[in-house]
């Protein structure tokens, strides 16, 4: 019962974090609450999944994540994770002026 509740909470939290910004016209209070708690909520949801996979309780998820077909994608995303800070640094140092966040940029 606790595991099912944990999985529902974890998947529900991830869905809320991903689709929580769907309406474009959020109030200042709503967007500030989202900004304050979304990263922590995502981390807790992923941590629950990691603990479940490591303890052997989530055999289906563990099997899906261990498929050989996912290996190239995992290596590609890890490479992008390693190269991304260098690209961001080069881009930001080569800018001629400040970056203004506007609707089309986000």
- All structural domains of the chain with their residue ranges: 2-67
CA–CA dist 73, 95 (Å, integer)? 31
CA–CA dist 16, 42 (Å, integer)? 9
pLDDT tens digits, residue range 79-91? 999 999 999 899 8
Is residue 13 within 8 A of residue 45, CB to CB? The reply is yes
pLDDT tens digits, residue range 2-45? 888 999 999 999 999 998 777 677 788 888 888 899 999 999 99
Give pTM, 2 decimals: 0.70
- Alpha helical stretches, state H, 2-70: 2-19, 28-54, 59-65
């Amino acid at each position: 019962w606790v595991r099912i509740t944990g999985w529902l909470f974890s998947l529900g939290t991830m869905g809320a974090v991903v689709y929580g910004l769907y309406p474009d016209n959020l109030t200042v209070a709503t967007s500030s609450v989202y900004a304050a708690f979304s990263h922590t909520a995502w981390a807790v949801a992923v941590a629950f999944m990691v603990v479940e996979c490591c303890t052997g309780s989530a055999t289906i998820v563990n099997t899906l994540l261990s498929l050989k077909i996912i290996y190239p994608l995992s290596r590609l995303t890890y490479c992008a994770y390693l190269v991304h800070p260098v690209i961001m640094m080069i881009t930001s140092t080569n800018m001629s002026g400040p970056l203004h966040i506007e609707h089309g940029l986000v």
